[in-house]
A and B are shown apart, each in its own frame.
Chain A
């Protein structure tokens, strides 16, 4: 399984959100780091087939995603940074809805939802309306919907935002257990999450790929990944 990103570009009018982005991904966890407005979310929206690139190509197992997006969608799990829920549906009803749209049969879906609610510590709240959920609980529902179809490609944008430390650890464990034969793209601001999980780290700023390395290689002689990240990002900026 491979995901090939070739010379990807995305423009919104005069704003150049992603520029000439090239990366080849194989099973493993890619940590995507970058400052606010670096183009991470735009890149993820393109990989998740939500937005089409202005130019360049994304190929999943050799097939052009722009031409046949459904091949990728069938095996995709996507957690957007800023997602919503239907406040008057229960968590189970919401997950049934998303699961059906992902093409999962009714019986398989029920078992999968029960398993995910259990592993995300939401089993007790499954029948309650989502409108009454806390931010962290909503985030976990978002994670559950991304994992419903047991995705081969999982794209998660700021997945631990709003989670308490205990839930963060639980989510990290879940991701680590899931890795193996999947491609997981994890965008975050939390360097420690990337450091503990990622098999590769990509640093992005101004829509460009600045670095793409194993975390240990990227840290090199520096004290931490955070320090390496700051040096790379500030070093790439033109002097004032």
Chain B
């Protein structure tokens, strides 16, 4: 009884603390908005779930399938970053030290936090569930409402996924090198790889351990239904998300028929999640190492020597370039950005610069893309450093904190972007390609602007890290219209930067008002 009471209290307190924050309200609002976008109108110009041009009419079964597959993907990626803060909160609020002195067991703590993660994710799933029901009536393509057809894929596909995400988020928090920004990056790539791996089956049955997200289960059943309508259909393309392709065929999906093994293969993820929680408990240090001590990195002696040598050599030049008060602030912000980076960081950045210089024009966007993913964790400090390092009380009362410090911080980020893409700038200049230079400049403005906007809005590094990773992956790496290194889209990205910067300033002004 006492242990259950302790676990219940742990879950409750964590949940109350999270759900009373304005970030949670914002998350719920965004979930609500996204939910409405998952069922686009016929003339919306996009589809969210298409298999080889087939889309089901919006009856309960199809809505259930669409929401299940999109919810499992969204909640396993974006919501992971939302919940990956349960232990960090106890470290940063320093409640952890009080908890460490209680008889609470490691497992009880891990289970309480995982349950809280699960309930937060569950609240988002619940919002999507309600929106799914409402959207069937809003679109009005089918009046036949069947609650079970919407609820069963949610229960079998989404709930096991969020149980696993809740446990994995906690596991990442317990592993020192995965608990911070690096863990966010690692998770993104692991998630992307796993998704591709689990979908590489052409809708054939994959072993349960390859289908944590339940996407294969949904695909198999939907594809079987399409084959019944058109036995000659070939699985050439699957579109999940907001794709521009239109539905070529509408069909009626009559719903899921889950077999006993389907159910078992999904439910097995609950004990697996519990196993992950148990592993997490073993790794839990009971706050023996305070967060700040754990984060402190040893300055690399080689870098320190190099930096002081460079500083001696470049001082007159720097003094001339950064004349006056504002220049000094920009320089200080630049130094803060680059502080503590290891010799290897500079070595890799230099290697990427050389790669840009000699890369073919066709692979320039990939070369710049690689050069701009490397400093991602440096940019993620922009707009958040004051909140993370608790220096707001020193910075905010200074003279014109937005016009001077905030802008200087952003400018330092832009300078870093230009410097890391210097090889490509030289390449395009030598080729006399003005468009190439425009693309780099627009990208160099966009990336730190996205960083400062995300940082100022959220107060954490996480929002930028996930937004930028997604943009980087679908942009420069896949050369879509989101490729912010391309000159062809420079005006659009400049306009986006202006909007983002206005949002950043607005968010910082609000923070100044309420600090």
Contacts and interface: CB of A to CB of B under 8 A. Distances in A.
Contacts of A93: 13, 16
A80 B97 contact: yes
B104 A101 contact: yes
B13 A103 contact: no
Contacts of B9: 96-97, 99-101
Interface stretch (A32-40, A81-89, A118-126, A224-232): A81-89
Interface stretch (A49-57, A171-179, A186-194): A49-57
Nearest to B91: A84
B8 A50 contact: no
Given A85-B93, A88-B21, A100 B8 contact: yes
Given A84-B94, A100-B8, A50 B288 contact: yes
B220 interface: no
A74 interface: yes
B98 A78 contact: yes
Given A51-B288, A83-B94, A73 B101 contact: yes
Dominant secondary structure of chain B at its interface with chain A: helix
Contact of B102 (A84, A98, A106): A98
A84 B16 contact: no
Given A70-B103, A103-B6, A105-B2, A98 B98 contact: yes
B10 A101 contact: yes
Interface in A108-130: 129
B17 A88 contact: yes
A105 B5 contact: yes
Contacts, number: 91
B506 to A, nearest CB: 23
A84 B16 CA distance: 16
Interface string A179-201: 00000000000000000000000
B103 A83 contact: no
Range for the number of chain B residues in contact with chain A: 20 to 34
Interface in B2-53: 2, 5-6, 8-10, 12-13, 16-17, 20-21
B287 interface: yes
Q: Which of B2, B21, B92 has the most CB of A within 10 A?
A: B2
A50 to B, nearest CB: 4
Range for the number of chain A residues in contact with chain B: 35 or more
Nearest to A52: B288
Nearest to B89: A86
Contact of B98 (A83, A103, A106): A83
B16 A89 contact: yes
Interface in B447-466: none
Contacts of A49: 100-101
A89 B94 contact: no
Nearest to A80: B97
A78 B94 contact: no
A102 interface: yes
Contact of A84 (B8, B95, B100, B286): B95
Given A80-B98, A99-B9, 14 more contacts: A50-B288, A70-B103, A73-B101, A84-B92, A86-B13, A88-B21, A89-B20, A98-B99, A98-B102, A100-B5, A100-B6, A101-B103, A105-B5, A106-B5
Interface of A: 12, 45, 48-52, 70, 73-74, 76, 78, 80, 82-89, 93-94, 96-103, 105-106, 129, 142, 145
30 contacts: A12-B293, A48-B100, A49-B101, A50-B97, A50-B101, A73-B101, A73-B103, A74-B103, A78-B98, A78-B101, A80-B97, A82-B94, A84-B92, A84-B94, A85-B95, A86-B89, A86-B93, A87-B17, A87-B93, A88-B16, A89-B17, A98-B102, A101-B9, A101-B102, A103-B2, A103-B6, A105-B1, A105-B5, A142-B98, A145-B98
